[in-house]
Structure 1
């Protein structure tokens, strides 16, 4: 049990001081803020204590912030603030301060459909001295780390810049961050007057390197600390699509986007937002995952993986893209049995024998129902059976969310009654999906799925569905149905996703690092993704991916790095599709050597 002296509260004439070995929290009765500092008094933030939970019919606000009631336990001190005014019949902010961090959440009662929920920020008119309007928390930090990869691949951004972690994304402006959906719901903040740009090299141990504007480098000293802010909650509470950091000069707030899709009738409690100090951002992610595990919100260790899961992977997508570049048309048109026979023949000619084969987009006739396209694949069952005879396993590419071929009652609909996505809360869709999984694994003989397009999670007001799950929770529901039925069919079925988040530990078997961002350094970005993945889901194997590549030289460099990050993965057969450069005999020898070394290291 924690020593009761580890967390204490001191009452003064004008406020409170909460002390722990990891931080100190100071409240002044004259200000609606709580200052969070290191034990040595280094201020990181002034937390604004009057949150706003808006609904589709009203904007929330606070007219009075009461002094907190204090509850002291052996392991924690809890401060509860009553908030008067606004649209709720009751509203309270709770700060539970334990030895290593602070758990915060808001409790409300009333009726309404949640829109934006502002945490440590909100509308306030309770003290004439400070004026009125929307207030934010004070930022004494200068840099913000977001684990979700964005198009420019910045590891940190200036504190005055806004960012988000979400379950959406596409190639359109402002949405080019589909690589992880979702990434861990963790931000980390650092004080650094030089405001360096953080870039990670291939070194997997120690602290990250920093590269300033002139390219100078320095190592983070053990005395440097990061403040993390992360969501710690069971997946059933994650009915929002985005976790926003809203920044401006010297100030910030957090925001959860519920989009009018969560109805409150009676009491409601926001997911817990935990603030704690960490050695670096990846330590912050690991702390977040460990806490989920400790509280029973996630089981990080899913047991020993079948050996075949860790064999080299060959995915045909890059080769399909090369053929489309040569022949014209779209890459999905090149997913044919004839072409894949050719891919395997080329690999066999160069003595390359992958353990896992991935049939990519589009082997099926309709995305929503996943029935084989017999024109493209006249004998899919025989093709998979022959792979099994060679000791290879086969994964089928599965496009999440696509409603192609589904009845309306199986779909999320827009205002015009048109399908937007599949609806995992629909009993009709669940029946369709489970039937499709059984067909793919038992009739066709496949061994699992490469899940893609999870970033097409439906988002926005006005969309209708059958159940109540939304946002992150809705995506989890989709993957749960897929994996649950897969395991019923084959206990060793492999479900591969790009969801390195602790609450997704039970709906994925392997994390794929996802598409390469060819506009930025390949090895740096993939190293970052691997570090995020290992911190979030330390027991899940990692598919290193391999497509696209800006050049043959970049492909060679990344191919050599792959075994340090996870399972070697090959997407090309004869050419790198972006510049149509042909693989050389030395390139095939490179892959052979890496695969042999990988297998030897695993005793295969």
Structure 2
């Protein structure tokens, strides 16, 4: 029962000629009405568009090389294969075939724990020295990390669910100081820094939601995600102005907290990854204009024998990115996995794509 006046939330109905016009029409209304900040002009470093190599699918291939369990989709621990020796071997394999990347991404897990900047001494006996050797070869290095991870944290620096530590609490001043110090060491050229050039942030989908949660500031939802990314972005830029922050978010409200967005090497039910890749790239261009698009590794789910051609398709929508320097494991759930080694023809094709991309982008 209403006594007086009641105003319902406003609802705006619009029409669009095509499916591709729906999201831009909605965003125009959001910008016009002040619900979202208008996209800002960007001038990133030219090297952000350099061809990329990420270690992840070489790691996955080695971890699953002897696996026959193709029904469950489970795999042995690929993180064991992110090592200095293997990464250098893979990088040299690419360079030997004229496929030198401009960016190398060290994927999971190079560090002792995900809330510190200390490399695993067994896997990475001299990470700083290796990064410097990459710089001498004209290669930048990105470090992987996992958002919201609570590894290595005391309970009082965690978001809890029903009193049980769940994930890192970026709103807690104690954890925020720890987080900022970790980022300083990632990018600082000082004696205790790693002098890396970028960050691949995974885990943003692990944003804590649901009942029973408590954190220091009682901040939740998209505002909590934004606070995490804002601290990460601003602190990183303090220590290296041209550092590149790569995320997996497609939301204009978070656009000013990222430089590069990743299409992701996620599952597709199709025989090739191309249609899924094109759709994701379109969404990114509409929601995150001006961000560099990392096309990620698409060969893993490519079931046809011409898998190498996907790299050329990647170069049509964003920065070509190889996840495979030597090994290739292609798999769909409920299908036997195909394990192979890249061929000389593959390398020739990759080299051509990288060469044409560099020419097109004046790199």
Pairwise same-fold verdict (TM > 0.5):
yes
Instruction: State the Cα distance separating 1:93 from its structure 2 match.
Output: 1.2
* Residue in structure 2 matched with residue 228 of structure 1 by the alignment: none
Judged with a 3 Å threshold, the aligned counterparts in structure 2 of structure 1 residues 563 and 391 are, in CA distance, closer, same or farther, namely same
* Residue in structure 2 matched with residue 307 of structure 1 by the alignment: 46
Instruction: State the Cα distance separating 1:276 from its structure 2 match.
Output: 2.3
**For 1:48-96, what per-residue CA distance to the aligned partner results, in whole angstroms no more than 9, with x for missing partners?**
xxxxxxxxxxxxxxx3597xxxxxxxxxxxxxxx34xxxxxxxx3154x
* Residue in structure 1 matched with residue 27 of structure 2 by the alignment: 289
Count of equivalent residues: 341
2:106 to 359, 363, 376: 359
Secondary structure (helix, strand or coil) at the match of 1:376 reads: coil
Mapping for residues 193-592 of structure 1, pairs under 5 Å: 274-294=12-32, 295=34, 297-326=36-65, 329-415=76-162, 417-442=163-188, 443-520=193-270, 521-547=272-298, 548-551=300-303, 553=305, 555-578=307-330, 579-592=338-351
Instruction: State the Cα distance separating 1:563 from its structure 2 match.
Output: 1.2
Instruction: State the Cα distance separating 1:280 from its structure 2 match.
Output: 2.6
Greater shift after overlay, 544-553 or 462-471?
544-553
CA distance in structure 1 between the aligned counterparts of 2:356 and 2:347, rounded to whole angstroms: 14
Judged with a 3 Å threshold, the aligned counterparts in structure 2 of structure 1 residues 476 and 501 are, in CA distance, closer, same or farther, namely same
Instruction: State the Cα distance separating 1:440 from its structure 2 match.
Output: 0.8
Instruction: State the Cα distance separating 1:534 from its structure 2 match.
Output: 0.7
Secondary structure (helix, strand or coil) at the match of 1:527 reads: helix
Secondary structure (helix, strand or coil) at the match of 1:278 reads: coil
CA distance in structure 2 between the aligned counterparts of 1:538 and 1:297, rounded to whole angstroms: 14
Judged with a 3 Å threshold, the aligned counterparts in structure 2 of structure 1 residues 390 and 290 are, in CA distance, closer, same or farther, namely farther
Instruction: State the Cα distance separating 1:552 from its structure 2 match.
Output: 6.0
**For 1:220-278, what per-residue CA distance to the aligned partner results, in whole angstroms no more than 9, with x for missing partners?**
xxxxxxxxxxxxxxxxxxxxxxxxxxxxxxxxxxxxxxxxxxxxxxxxxxxxxx43222
Secondary structure (helix, strand or coil) at the match of 1:553 reads: coil
**For 1:320-348, what per-residue CA distance to the aligned partner results, in whole angstroms no more than 9, with x for missing partners?**
11121237741000011011011111112
Instruction: State the Cα distance separating 1:519 from its structure 2 match.
Output: 2.6
CA distance in structure 1 between the aligned counterparts of 2:304 and 2:127, rounded to whole angstroms: 32
**For 1:124-164, what per-residue CA distance to the aligned partner results, in whole angstroms no more than 9, with x for missing partners?**
xxxxxxxxxxxxxxxxxxxxxxxxxxxxxxxxxxxxxxxxx
> Contact 2:312–2:320 at 8 Å: present in 1 too?
no
CA distance in structure 2 between the aligned counterparts of 1:485 and 1:335, rounded to whole angstroms: 26
> Contact 2:62–2:327 at 8 Å: present in 1 too?
no
Instruction: State the Cα distance separating 1:409 from its structure 2 match.
Output: 2.0
> Contact 2:161–2:214 at 8 Å: present in 1 too?
yes
CA distance in structure 1 between the aligned counterparts of 2:160 and 2:322, rounded to whole angstroms: 38
Secondary structure (helix, strand or coil) at the match of 2:291 reads: coil
Secondary structure (helix, strand or coil) at the match of 1:397 reads: strand
> Contact 1:315–1:570 at 8 Å: present in 2 too?
yes
Secondary structure (helix, strand or coil) at the match of 1:395 reads: strand
Instruction: State the Cα distance separating 1:361 from its structure 2 match.
Output: 0.1
Judged with a 3 Å threshold, the aligned counterparts in structure 2 of structure 1 residues 292 and 400 are, in CA distance, closer, same or farther, namely same
CA RMSD of aligned residues (A): 1.9
Instruction: State the Cα distance separating 1:474 from its structure 2 match.
Output: 1.1
CA distance in structure 1 between the aligned counterparts of 2:252 and 2:360, rounded to whole angstroms: 28
Secondary structure (helix, strand or coil) at the match of 2:256 reads: coil
Pick the structure with greater CA Rg. Answer: 1
Which segments of 5 or more consecutive residues in structure 1 lack a partner in the other structure?
Answer: 1-62, 67-81, 84-91, 96-103, 105-273
CA distance in structure 2 between the aligned counterparts of 1:556 and 1:346, rounded to whole angstroms: 17
Which segments of 5 or more consecutive residues in structure 2 lack a partner in the other structure?
Answer: 68-75, 331-337
Instruction: State the Cα distance separating 1:370 from its structure 2 match.
Output: 3.9
CA distance in structure 2 between the aligned counterparts of 1:296 and 1:550, rounded to whole angstroms: 40
The TM-score, its normalising length taken from structure 1, stands at 0.54
Judged with a 3 Å threshold, the aligned counterparts in structure 2 of structure 1 residues 390 and 293 are, in CA distance, closer, same or farther, namely farther
> Contact 1:530–1:565 at 8 Å: present in 2 too?
yes
**For 1:20-62, what per-residue CA distance to the aligned partner results, in whole angstroms no more than 9, with x for missing partners?**
xxxxxxxxxxxxxxxxxxxxxxxxxxxxxxxxxxxxxxxxxxx
Instruction: State the Cα distance separating 1:432 from its structure 2 match.
Output: 0.9
CA distance in structure 2 between the aligned counterparts of 1:386 and 1:372, rounded to whole angstroms: 16
Judged with a 3 Å threshold, the aligned counterparts in structure 2 of structure 1 residues 349 and 304 are, in CA distance, closer, same or farther, namely same
Higher RCO, Cα 8 Å, sep 6+: 2
Identify, as 1 or 2, the structure richer in helix. 2
**For 1:190-233, what per-residue CA distance to the aligned partner results, in whole angstroms no more than 9, with x for missing partners?**
xxxxxxxxxxxxxxxxxxxxxxxxxxxxxxxxxxxxxxxxxxxx
Identify, as 1 or 2, the structure richer in strand. 1
Secondary structure (helix, strand or coil) at the match of 2:245 reads: strand
> Contact 1:523–1:558 at 8 Å: present in 2 too?
yes
> Contact 1:384–1:444 at 8 Å: present in 2 too?
yes
